Amino acid sequence: MNQEIERRRTFAIIAHPDAGKTSLTEKLLLFGGQIQVAGAVKSNKIKKTATSDWMDIEKQRGISVTTSVMEFDYNDYKVNILDTPGHQDFAEDTYRTLTAVDSVIIVVDGAKGVESQTRKLMEVCRMRNTPVIIFVNKMDREAKDPFDLLDELEEELVIQVRPLTWPIESGPRFRGVYNIYEQKLNLFQPSKQVVTEKVEVDINTEELDNHIGSDLADKLRGELELIDGVYPEFNVEEYLKGDVAPVFFGSALNNFGVQELLDCFVEIAPSPRPVTAVERTVNPDESKFTGFIFKITANIDPNHRSCVAFCKVCSGKFTRNIPYLHVRHNKTMRFSSPTQFMAQRKTTVDEAWAGDIIGLPDNGTFKIGDTLTEGENLHFKGLPSFSPEMFKYIENADPMKTKQLNKGIDQLMDEGVAQLFVNQFNGRKIIGTVGQLQFEVIQYRLENEYNAKCRWEPVSLYKACWIESDDPEELEAFKKRKYQYMAKDREGRDVFLADSGYVLQMAQMDFKHIKFHFTSEF
């Protein structure tokens, strides 16, 4: 069992839209033998059918906007990639996916540097001390100066960095990367068809000059010296603690620098890590199966209504057709057709190990955060809700369908499509999302799946803050003062809906013993 768990690498690739997440995923699948299109991205058409391009497969399969999983074997490793939706309106999905991974690869566009979405996702990684590897992509295009980029990464992502490869120029002058770790030169050939061969060179000999010319050779020597002087030696332990992020340079589109990344990744990235439950810490090598639901995807195809609940196996071995305890319902369930995902294919699995993700057919029995065990009463922590960015009142547009509407809202919230707050002053329901698209999805699905109609009404809010205090009197005084803005989330927790940044600031000043949190878990 230990061997099975040790060889698993479960991770997600995160990036700002367009940085190259799809291209990189595709190249990784290529190395893993999961797709055979040599050189993969040849044209738009192939790219659009690429397995990892989420929106498209989901559309083909008729499943709504969510996260999927891909897995493959590479050398002795079993790699599980959790895909995250490219559209930033579904960032909440990505946050949740990050709770199910053991490490993360961040893709950054070499010309654009760190962009907003990446910054936000990194915050989630930092909260959980998730080990991070950074891939600076599109070096075949004119990129920022690599030293400037490293400074920017450190500053914007608030993590120490350590380059493990180093680019030789960029754009039309891009000559390749020097692999600092292996001390090999990797010469760039602008081709999508082949993986470039590495040349072993002693950088202090003329051999380097022969390959890239004396000027660039001298420059590279100088830069490598500088790197050694500025950045401490790479330390795997620090990476595993989430303190330092190794950096690779390359071009996903040209399949360049990707193998270095993958080789290093499987070697240093963590195997499944212990998971914290309310009751205790669960170790992956425990003999008994435990797992939690981090994602539910709905099927918008009216002919195939059932959902898929994605379960991360936290410990032990999951076996098909064995009864497991659904802790929240205190009910035993048996799964006859759990699925695993191989690129385009979905196959029924007989067993899965800690680190794996399995898809369980679901018709409303699961809710995000649910725990499955062999009988133990266990509740996994670490599936926080984040303050939404946009808020709207949801109103019933068809009084004959109140029951349907409430059921629909309930189930969609169980799936984690958005967050619901009930204003304690006027009893009105407020839906919070990360983007406008989610409101559209909710409205569409309420109509199509629940035969209910909703109407949105504006409410101007800035943030939802989960509040706590050691001083119950102050907490009560606060709730009284802000009674118009107090709401409950679905778990019955007190939430203060601040209508502006200024109001929040004032509240923080007036009520010094109250902590205002932007996530539901603290």
For residue 65, what is the DSSP state? S
Give 141 or 493: the residue with its C-beta nearer to ligand G4P.
141
Give φ, ψ of 507 to 5 degrees. -60, -40
Binding to ligand G4P (CB under 6 A) within 79-98 occurs at 86
The least CB distance from residue 29 to ligand G4P, in Å, is 13
Fill in the per-residue mask, 126 to 165: x = in contact with ligand G4P (CB under 6 A), - = not in contact. -----------xx-xx------------------------
Choose between 85 and 270: whose C-beta lies nearer to ligand G4P.
85
User: By C-beta, is 34 or 271 nearer to ligand G4P?
Assistant: 34
Question: Which residue lies nearer to ligand G4P by CB, 248 or 496?
Answer: 248
Q: How far is the CB of 12 from ligand G4P (least distance, A)?
A: 13
- Report the nearest approach of ligand G4P to the CB of residue 198 (Å): 19
Query: CA 411 to CA 104: how far, in whole Å?
Result: 30
For residue 47, state whether it binds ligand G4P (rule: CB under 6 A).
Answer: yes
Rounded Cα distance between 372 and 325, Å, is 5
Rounded to whole angstroms, how far apart are CA atoms 198 and 188?
Answer: 10
Out of 5, 19, 125, 464, point to the residue binding ligand G4P (CB under 6 A): 19
Choice from 136, 252, 282, 431 touching ligand G4P (CB under 6 A) = 252
Judged by beta carbon, residue 18 or residue 155, the one nearer ligand G4P is 18
Q: Is 23 in the site for ligand G4P (CB under 6 A)?
A: yes
Q: Does 293 bind ligand G4P (CB under 6 A)?
A: no
Whether the Cβ atoms of residue 514 and residue 468 lie closer than 8 Å to each other: yes
Residue 260 interacting with ligand G4P (CB under 6 A): no
- Judged by CB under 6 A, the stretch of 14-22, 148-156, 240-248, 509-517 that binds ligand G4P is 14-22
What's the Cα-to-Cα distance from 288 to each of 55, 350, 427, rounded to whole Å? 36, 16, 44
Asked if residue 251 binds ligand G4P (CB under 6 A), the reply is: yes
Which of 4, 20, 339, 383 is in the footprint of ligand G4P by CB under 6 A?
A: 20
Of residues 4, 8, 14, 22, which one binds ligand G4P by CB under 6 A?
Answer: 22
Look up residue 399 and give its DSSP letter.
G
Residue placing its CB nearer to ligand G4P in the complex, 53 or 356: 53
Sorted by sequence, the CB contacts under 8 Å of residue 443 that are 6+ apart come out as: 454, 456
152, 328, 368, 434 from 282: Cα distances, Å: 37, 18, 19, 32
Contact call for residue 340 and ligand G4P (CB under 6 A):
no
Of 24 and 418, the one with the shorter C-beta distance to ligand G4P is 24
CB of 494 to ligand G4P, least distance (A): 38
* One-letter amino acid for residue 316 of the chain: G
Indicate whether 173 belongs to the interface with ligand G4P (CB under 6 A).
Answer: no
Exposed (0-12), middle (13-18) or buried (19+): which is 45, by Cβ within 10 Å?
A: exposed
Choose the binding region for ligand G4P from 21-29, 226-234, 334-342, 442-450 (rule: CB under 6 A).
Answer: 21-29
Q: Count other C-beta atoms under 10 Å from residue 75's C-beta.
A: 12
Q: Are 9 and 105 in contact (CB under 8 A)?
A: no
Taking the complex as a whole, how short is the minimal distance between the CB of residue 10 and ligand G4P, in angstroms?
20
Region near ligand G4P per CB under 6 A, out of 153-161, 250-258, 283-291, 391-399: 250-258
Q: How many CA atoms lie less than 13 Å away from 276 in the CB half-sphere?
A: 7
195 in contact with ligand G4P (CB under 6 A): no
What secondary structure does DSSP assign to 472-521, as a single string? HHHHHHHHHHTGGGEEE-TT--EEEEESSHHHHHHHHHH-TTEEEESBS-
18 lines the binding site for ligand G4P (CB under 6 A): yes
Strands of 307-315's sheet, edge to edge?
331-334, 323-326, 371-373, 290-297, 307-315, 357-362, 339-342, 345-348
- 139 and 249 Cβ atoms separated by less than 8 Å: yes
Site residues for ligand G4P per CB under 6 A: 15, 17-23, 44, 47, 86, 137-138, 140-141, 251-254
